A and B are shown apart, each in its own frame.
Chain A
Amino acid sequence: QEFQFGPCRVEGVVLQELWEAFWAMKDIVQAKDNITNVRLLRKEVLQNVSNAESCYLIRALLKFYLNTVFKNYQDKAADFRVRKSFSTLANNFVVIVSKLQPSQENEMFSVSDSARRRFLLFQRAFKQLDIEAAQTKAFGEVDILLTWMEKFYQL
């Protein structure tokens, strides 16, 4: 069982555990998101991502989730009594990010730049919202993120 984001290989992460962790929180978190006319992980962000781009994009997204979304969600997770599921999800994201080593070579600039533009689409939409609403919305869209990640997962 491993992820293969283009050249980046990530072993030792059981995707089923991430699904089960998020599913335990999905209804609670998504019910808090009242801005239903905005989707952060739009099709333009995740559709037709090449293998080569995928490592750059997943790294940028997961780092953002860890540093901007999850970091301020710890207390809420306790309030919602989903702390264990929240920790499972966050810790697995930490493991994945730690194992992603995208190439820094010059020839990869156009690929990394394309991935960066996709990430910026997501980040700009995030920044247009109030921070708390944006965090709740981003958290509620982890099912969209996991659905995309599953395409790079091999049992």
Chain B
Amino acid sequence: AVPCVSGGLPKPTNITFFSINMRNILQWSPPEGLQEAELTYTVQYFIRYGQKKWLNKSECRNINRTCCDLSVETSDYEHQYYAKVKAIWETNCSKWAETGRFYPFLETQIGPPEVALSTDEKSISIVLTAPEKWKRNPEESSISMQQIYSNLKYNVSVYNAKSNRTWSQCVTNRTLVLSWLEPDTLYCVRVETFVPGPPRLAQPSEKQCVRTQKDQTSALK
């Protein structure tokens, strides 16, 4: 690589890890005032907090995009990491812009669960499946985020379309039955995963709606 004049450009900004289910993407914004310029970027990562080496990420050398997947390099989620990126334009380059200390175990977002609904007259059965941890390749065996976070919980929100009212409950079990519902009524369910500990962003599941069955007794009259 042609050596560049360091500091000739302002640093990239907003450098941070975006992490969900242990998929860890480094992302950043172009340097101030150079949003339109034809820049390239080079990424390095710190093998881990407590060790000595900065390593190149070869797939993220002289790239045009403003993100770099470092999931493999940060896959031991009980360790902490740093990453840094610099901007390059012809023979000029910026100083490194560095992330704060990144701790996947505490900072990854837990994605939404899978939600399966079934209903009868006055109740709805809900079966929840925790999301899977990111894996390097499809052949790898799947690991549920529940296995990583044994204290994982679910925040279930239920909306009654007839009464226009919503209620929520926090559950640990992955199966629950909503009883004493109104027959022939549309109910919509949305579920968020939650892990006690540091504040984390949460992604709710898609809203799913189901109608309770008609009241059989009134149908016979």
Contacts and interface: CB of A to CB of B under 8 A. Distances in A.
Nearest to A28: B100
**Secondary structure type dominating chain A contacts:** helix
| Residue of B80, B103, B151, B197 with most chain A CB atoms under a 10 A cut-off | B197
A23 B201 CA distance: 13
B50 interface: yes
A31 B50 CA distance: 15
A147 interface: yes
Contact of A19 (B101, B151, B197): B197
Contacts of A15: 196-197
B53 to A, nearest CB: 8
Given A36-B46, A143-B106, A20 B51 contact: no
A19 B101 CA distance: 16
Interface in B100-131: 100-101, 103, 105-106
A154 to B, nearest CB: 10
A19 B198 contact: yes
A39 B49 contact: yes
B52 interface: yes
A37 interface: yes
A140 B46 CA distance: 17
Interface in A137-155: 140, 143-144, 146-147, 150, 155
Contacts of B196: 15-16, 19, 150, 155
A22 to B, nearest CB: 8
Interface string A22-37: 1100010011010011
Contact of A37 (B51, B80, B106, B197): B51
Contacts of A150: 151, 196-197
A42 interface: yes
Contacts of A146: 197
B134 interface: no
A131 interface: no
Interface in B154-177: none
A19 B197 CA distance: 6
B50 A38 contact: yes
Contact of B199 (A20, A143, A147): A20
Nearest 7 interchain pairs by C-beta: A39-B50, A37-B52, A30-B101, A19-B198, A23-B198, A19-B197, A27-B100
Interface of B: 46, 49-52, 78, 80, 82, 100-101, 103, 105-106, 151, 196-199
6 contacts: A19-B197, A20-B198, A36-B50, A39-B50, A147-B197, A155-B196
